[in-house]
Structure 1
């Protein structure tokens, strides 16, 4: 099963619809000064963690993942329907300014359901079963369908804070090549209907060395913590939620839904 994500336009557009501004922008102040403090904050969060700080975590530590695995086919069907109809799924580089350096144009697309606590009601309404399931995730921060085109490599990158953990549910995983992710020194591969839980503050990179599209449901949720790590993580996430980093992405997503960003951006 394959979904076209780079060749066929999937959004509303016309000949005069502008591409997003690709000029380099200063990184948000939080992310710029945060590089100097992030190591300290992450270490304090790690010492307060109620789950291991390993690159890959045991999914059994997060019982809610069982509901995703049980209903993965229903989630997959909603994802395929939503991605395949207008306005479809935008390029991540067109929505999130901080991803423009690593997200190949039109090769890594995301259909957002929620981000940093902000709901995307248009997409939630298109995926009602998925919406009900993600509402059961404790500490939900963000959720989206992550769509990787054939032949795509996402270079090494890392998440913003150890206060978040990432879960992938495999929905469409090509079998005609090697579709994999390196997290730290480990290499993992997705399987349809299976969950992968990991700490994205470890350097990681992704390959889709196949002729077909990979789709996963990507969920970010708050790491279970005791204090003082919980206070630090909550403070950082609160600042991030209000930052230009998140607010610009929200504005770009609204522009996408109004057809003001080109579908192939």
Structure 2
């Protein structure tokens, strides 16, 4: 019998924020310095080419970490254990995350385990979050929408299953496939879903960065991001992650 998902209670201001989010997104779309579309060419954010140029460093550091502990989920709890808000789309524990930074909060223990990667992400302008997203064989993430159009999402392929066509992400009407050491860039406020229908684990280094905004859009973006970073959505996830980290013994 599947465990019942208990939705966390949220303060009135958070509930109102969710209701107002579509209006904020319209403003962010209007004042965006780049077009409002589901998928982008990576050239719109110049720093991505630097990440791709150093992809082998990131991949080798990840592989060394995995080999050292012989466990791909070391320090990588399931997303549903970290964030109650993700319980609906992370129905089981096959979607895991190894955080380096989340909403400006740095996970020092993990950064020390991957110092070269941590140094690279420190150079990314307007970085909000950076973590390794680990999708185990058979994992499915159902259709869902991101929190805000104020953020763009980038994935770097770190460990891509051999049968790439059976491991994909659908963004709006486009199906994308990960390629080793290459990035994809998209707006996660468009409906998207993910599936790994292979017998291998898929790992990407996921970045979330601020969308380039101008004028009033930048003001709305800053206010909305400030509210998110101070919200229970982020605070609970960070507290849960740190609690799990303290309990976990690397072996």
TM-score (norm. length: structure 1): 0.86
CA distance, structure 2, for counterparts of residue 243 and residue 53 of structure 1? 26
Q: 1:38 aligns with which of 1, 21, 36?
A: 21
Q: Distance in 2 between matches of 1:34 and 1:134?
A: 30
Cα deviation, residue 37, structure 1: 1.2
Specify the alignment match of 2:48 in structure 1.
65
CA distance in 2 between counterparts of 1:256 and 1:35 reads 28
- Which of 136, 140, 143 is matched with 1:153 structurally? 140
Q: Deviations over 1:123-155 (max 9, x none)?
A: 111111111111111100000000000111100
Deviation at 1:90, TM superposition (A): 0.7
The residue matched to 2:76 in structure 1 has which SS? Answer: coil
Deviation per CA, 1:167-212: give whole Å up to 9, x if none: 0000111023511111111111110011101000001000101110
Unaligned 5+ segments in structure 1 are 1-20
CA RMSD of aligned residues (A): 2.0
Q: Please tell me whether the aligned partners of residues 79 and 145 of structure 1 are also in contact (alpha carbons under 8 angstroms).
A: no
Using CA pairs below 8 Å that are at least 6 residues apart, which structure has the higher relative contact order? 1
User: Judging changes above 3 Å, is the alpha-carbon distance between structure 1 residues 225 and 192 closer, same or farther for their aligned structure 2 residues?
Assistant: same
| Equivalent-residue separation in structure 1 for 2:149 and 2:51 (angstroms) | 23
Structure with greater helix percent: 2
From the superposition, tell whether residues 225 and 150 of structure 1 become closer, same or farther in structure 2 (CA, over 3 Å): same
Shift of 1:31: 4.6
Corresponding residue SS for 1:228: helix
Deviation at 1:44, TM superposition (A): 0.5
Contact 2:10 2:232 in 1 (8 A): no
Query: What does residue 33 of structure 2 align with?
Result: 50
Q: Which moved further from structure 2: 192-201 or 64-73?
A: 64-73
What pairs with 1:97-176 in structure 2 (closer than 5 Å)? Answer: 97-176=84-163
Instruction: Using the TM superposition, give the Cα deviation of residue 104 of structure 1 relative to its aligned residue in structure 2, in angstroms.
Output: 3.0
Query: CA offsets per residue over residues 61-101 of structure 1, 9 Å max, x none?
Result: 11111111111122112223445638431111110111111
Note if 1:206 corresponds to 2:206: no
User: Is contact 1:141–1:220 with CA below 8 Å preserved after alignment?
Assistant: yes
1:235 aligns with 2:223: yes
Q: Which is worse superposed, 81-90 or 34-43?
A: 81-90
Is the contact made by 2:102 and 2:130 (CA closer than 8 Å) also made in structure 1? Answer: yes
Corresponding residue SS for 1:258:
helix
Per the TM alignment, residue 257 of structure 1 is displaced from its structure 2 partner at its CA by: 1.1
Kept after mapping to 1: 8 A contact 2:160/2:178: yes
240-249 or 172-181, larger mean C-alpha shift:
172-181
Of 161, 167, 177, which residue of structure 2 is paired with 1:179?
Answer: 167
With normalisation by structure 2, the TM-score equals 0.91
Count of matched residue pairs: 242
